[in-house]
Amino acid sequence: MRWSKTYIPTLRQKQTEAELISHQLLLRAGYIRKLAAGIYLYLPLMQRVIDKFSNIVREEMNRAGALEITMSVLCPAELWQKSGRYDTIGKEQMRLKDRHQHDMVLCGTHEETVTNLIAGEVRSYRQLPLNLYQIQVKFRDEIRPRFGLMRGREFIMKDAYTFDADAESFARSYQAMVDAYFAVFKRAGLDVIKVESDSGAMGGKVAHEFMLLVDTDAGEEDIAVCNKCGYAANVEKAEFKDDAPDPTDAEPKDMETIDTPGAATIEEVTEFLKVDATALAKTLMYKADGKPVAAMVRGDRDVNEVKLRNALKAVDLEMASEEEVLKYTGAPVGFAGPVGLKDVQILVDPLVAEMKNMIVGANAGEKHIKNVNLDRDFKAAEVIDLTRARGGDTCPHCDGKLDVKDGIEVGNTFQLGTNYAEKLGAKFLDADSEERPCIMGSYGIGITRTPQAALEKYFDDKGIIWPKAIAPYLVELIPIKMDNENQVAAAEKIYAALTEAGIDVLYDDRDERPGVKFNDADLVGVPVRITIGDKSLKDGNVELKARSADKFDLVPVNEVVEAVIRLAETLN
């Protein structure tokens, strides 16, 4: 492609709307433009990146036996009512009415559509397993669209859905997708890890996320990784062993209400009473689907709201407001406690359940209670893990320690079970002619998020450094002077030879100053650069250099194709 014939509107100035380096670079290098919050237009360079990445995904999906289809973005609300998600998915779902006043939705995922597709059509176990996928636009009215393509309201996803007759067959289908995912990200030049995750709105039990670990501010997810056995889980889901000293030998003592003037936070109370935070239990007040809930974790720990939401099977979960805390407990924020709490469901973490003589809020301003014991002094609706794992915790599977790292979720895999198949009627007759629901899985990859995520790793102070497999072009060809006949002749020859060899070349044929061309080349981030200048051309050579390298090699004009191929082999 000749630069003069394509459209690459690069920008020199910093783009204030972009917090992340990857977002900044995509705007400045002319890959994307914003239309509205979370809605972006993909310009020619971005389109090429999307196509390259999509093709890798497509090839690996096809290799794994998945079949490409395209489902509609519009879907009658009825299907989502059947699955039950119409009431639970919340405001993220874009809804509208058609001219006949029928309720419609714009799909943010396609479990309902695909299950409905095969319901009544797949009738026998002989037609299974089946794996259908698409690469297509999704709509989600994200509460905080941000970071460019990372969290858009309209974005592109690859989503695949498997249907199996039995558990063994499903295990094979799931593993095939996991293997395909590793193959996809490896080919794209991305080193990802697979972590256990919460299945959230999908409603299944087992789920995994594929995470790109990053050192920048882009990691929206916290990942707990064991430094010994390789256990890795999203902190939302992570289990751990707690190392605090065993409190079980203390004898229960009599409860005692104490004044704690001016001490409301854990730090203030521990300071005032001269005790360790592990002697306290925090009682946090929430509102779950409109009802008051108290969640108790040990004073030194934090509540994991995903675990709490799952324990409650709640659709809406939020911290109680100051007024609500006053209403539920009779005391201002900071003094909630379990003793004498009425009409509030109390969930207790196991680390609190094993505490003896704990200190809790007294449900009265400026007061706490000492020597409180579960069962004797208050009852728990349930004892269930509510604690957020943190760095330094012991691994749940070995004696290693958990590190918490920042990651970007680029893909995920869910084991859905039979929920959707039952609700939407995807049933088949097994070998004994018994009717059974299909066992399903669903599998997503962010087609627009992933390339931007790559840029959180692959950049320098001058611009982008694409992994070669998802770069818009492999080679950028730059004659220093377009009014120099020899340079132009060599450029045309090399352009033709590379194109002939099937190599994607961006030929900067603009009549611009060399500095402008080099700056743009660094910004745009094509992995290999060929520079044609008089000095080397005198001896029949051009300069060949990787975007990531400082030094160039001199290569004879006639040998450029082989030299480019050799250099590309050494690049990520």
Residues in touch with ligand ATP (CB under 6 A): 109, 140, 142, 151-152, 155, 157, 409-412, 444, 446, 448-449
Residue 178: left (phi > 0), alpha (psi -120 to 50), or beta?
Answer: alpha
CB of 103 to ligand ATP, least distance (A): 22
Unique residue bearing structure tokens 């809406």: 316
Report the residue number, 148 or 299, with the smaller CB distance to ligand ATP: 148
- Degrees to nearest 5, angle at CA 163 with 161 and 168: 120
| φ/ψ of residue 401, rounded to 5 | -110, 150
Minimum distance from CB of 553 to ligand ATP (Å)? 38
CB-nearer residue toward ligand ATP: 107 or 284 = 107
CA distance 425 to 433: 16
Shortest distance (Å) from residue 140 CB to ligand ATP = 5
Nearer to ligand ATP, 177 or 532 (CB): 177
CB of 78 to ligand ATP, least distance (A): 22
Taking the least distance from each CB to ligand ATP, the nearer of 138 and 547 is 138
Dihedral over Cα of 154, 196, 455, 61: its sign:
negative
Give min distance, CB of 152 to ligand ATP, in A. 4
Tell me the closest approach of the beta carbon of residue 446 to ligand ATP, in angstroms: 2
Tell me phi and psi for residue 137, to 5 degrees: -75, 140
Query: Which helix (H) or strand (E) segment is 374 a member of?
Result: none
Phi and psi angles of residue 86, each rounded to the nearest 5 degrees, phi first: -55, -35
Q: Kindly tell me which of 48 and 158 has the beta carbon lying closer to ligand ATP.
A: 158
d(CA 295, CA 345): 9
* Element containing residue 434 per DSSP (H, E): none
Whole-angstrom distance, CA of residue 238 vs CA of residue 396: 9
- CA 172-65-136 angle, to 5 degrees, is 110
Give the nearer residue to ligand ATP in terms of CB position, either 207 or 279. Answer: 207
**Contact present, 511 and 483 (Cβ < 8 Å):** yes
Instruction: Give the residue at shortest CB distance from ligand ATP.
Output: 446
Q: What value, to the nearest 5°, has the Cα angle with vertex 333 and ends 327 and 335?
A: 95
Shortest distance in whole angstroms from residue 196 CB to ligand ATP: 14
Q: To the nearest whole angstrom, how small is the minimum distance from the Cβ of residue 57 to ligand ATP?
A: 11
Which run of H or E residues covers position 233?
strand 232-234
67/568 Cα distance (integer angstroms) = 32
Structure token digits, residue 2: 């000749």
Nearer to ligand ATP, 38 or 338 (CB): 38
The DSSP secondary-structure symbol of 395 reads: P
| Single-letter residue type at 20 | L
Q: Write down the least CB distance from residue 167 to ligand ATP, Å.
A: 23
Query: What gap in Å lies between CA 349 and CA 556, rounded to an integer?
Result: 71
Q: How far is the CB of 156 from ligand ATP (least distance, A)?
A: 8
Which residues have CB under 8 Å from 330's CB, separation 6+?
Answer: 363, 364
Residue number, 151 or 356, with CB nearest to ligand ATP: 151
**Alpha helical stretches, state H, 437-507:** 449-455, 485-500
Pairing of strands 232-234, 256-259: unpaired
**Nearer Cβ to ligand ATP, position 448 or 531?**
448
**Least Å from the CB of residue 198 to ligand ATP:** 9
CB of 157 to ligand ATP, least distance (A): 5
- Nearest Cα neighbor of 515 from 480, 477, 552, 554 is 480
Residue number with CB closer to ligand ATP (270 or 448):
448
Task: Tell me whether residue 152 or residue 337 sits nearer to ligand ATP (CB atom).
Answer: 152
Taking phi over 0 as left and psi of -120 to 50 as alpha, with beta for the rest, 444 belongs to beta
Query: Of 30 and 446, which CB lies nearer to ligand ATP in the complex structure?
Result: 446
